[in-house]
Amino acid sequence: MAAKPDFFERDVVSMRDFDRGQLELVFQQAATLERTPGRLDGALEGKLAVLLFFEPSTRTYSSFQVAAETLGLRVSGFSNPKGSSVSKGETLHDTIRMFEGYGADCFVIRHGMMGAARFAAEITDVPVINAGDGRREHPTQAMIDIYTIWKAFGKMDGLKVGIMGDLRYGRTPSSLSYGLSNYQVELCFIAPDALQIRPEVESFLNRRGVISSKETNLRSVAETLDVLYVTRIQKERIPDLTEYERVKKLYEVDLAALKDTKPSLKVLHPLPRMGELATEVDSAVFAQYFAQAAAGLPLRMALLNMILGGAE
């Protein structure tokens, strides 16, 4: 694939930075790769991807690692700061400078601090991909989420998407909402008041004219939804869980909760799941979350290849 001018050497920090045309370019490249696996194997031979994960991860780290290695990139960095000099107090700034000196061609960074990826992008000219910055954003997850919906429905416009769970401390609901604001979709945020979507996300959606509503109960909207995006409670970020513990039954999805939904409903979840999505849903037609996780590989391969300018 020739370098795509919209993507070549660009940072991926926020979903607010991507328009519909750019997202669809990534989706098309990912879909082409799914149709013809192997076509990009080794395309970025000799380059170096540096993965800096200051917070735990399973899917994101491993799918970036497998994506990068399949493209022929060498992979360095760490998946756990405990085993690195970060545990001695080394700063993000110095860590980046050091790997820059080793010839990094791109950084993939997950960090607990909001704005970490933007900060990183300001101190290095090497492209930076945000793999999660605190509760703020997780743009490549949102690309995977929208790609999964795009493939399942063959369209985006006209869909009603329910986003449920911890919308306040989670970073996937905000990135997903920003990405979906490029389409004529209706959003419904389903959460207890204490965990509702953050004001900055809401005001962004309002500025873009996105139709959205807030609900405290899945039951009242379930039958109107085309997509239900379930998220876990971010226990590691919530200061007080008492209120949530009291109402959590309302946000647990099992087959009974889905009984009056559209037969075409798709249930997504960025995973990991805790108790909010019952395993009995896995074998129902609604379940899309394992396909969603699997889509992470072609999508991240396509994205890395576009940013690093691999051959056609």
By the criterion CB under 6 A, which residues form the site for ligand NCD? 59-60, 132, 138, 141, 170-172, 231-232, 270-271
Show the tokens assigned to 101.
């000196």
For 160, 167, 238, the CA distances from 152, given in Å and listed in that order, are 14, 24, 33
- Smallest distance from ligand NCD to CB 110, Å: 7
Closer residue to ligand NCD (CB): 10 or 300: 300
- Smallest distance from ligand NCD to CB 100, Å: 25
Closer residue to ligand NCD (CB): 148 or 186: 148
- Smallest distance from ligand NCD to CB 6, Å: 24
The span from the CA of 203 to the CA of 198, in Å, is 9
Closer residue to ligand NCD (CB): 7 or 289: 289
- Smallest distance from ligand NCD to CB 263, Å: 27
Sign of CA dihedral 40, 44, 45, 50: negative
> What is the three-class DSSP state of 243?
helix
- Smallest distance from ligand NCD to CB 174, Å: 10
- Smallest distance from ligand NCD to CB 55, Å: 7
Contact of 231 with 276, CB cutoff 8 Å: yes
CA neighbor of 150 nearest in space, from 201, 175, 178, 185: 185
Residue nearest to ligand NCD (CB): 270
Show the tokens assigned to 295.
């889509």
Closer residue to ligand NCD (CB): 229 or 286: 229
Show the tokens assigned to 221.
């909207």
Closer residue to ligand NCD (CB): 166 or 186: 166
Closer residue to ligand NCD (CB): 43 or 52: 52
Contact of 293 with 59, CB cutoff 8 Å: yes
Closer residue to ligand NCD (CB): 43 or 108: 108
- Smallest distance from ligand NCD to CB 281, Å: 17
- Smallest distance from ligand NCD to CB 63, Å: 9
Contact of 40 with 66, CB cutoff 8 Å: no
Show the tokens assigned to 306.
């576009």
Closer residue to ligand NCD (CB): 32 or 62: 62
Beta-carbon contacts of 8 under 8 Å, excluding residues fewer than 6 positions away, are: 306, 307, 309
Show the tokens assigned to 307.
């940013």
Strand partners, 129: 12, 108
> What is the three-class DSSP state of 25?
helix
CA neighbor of 13 nearest in space, from 88, 96, 95, 107: 107
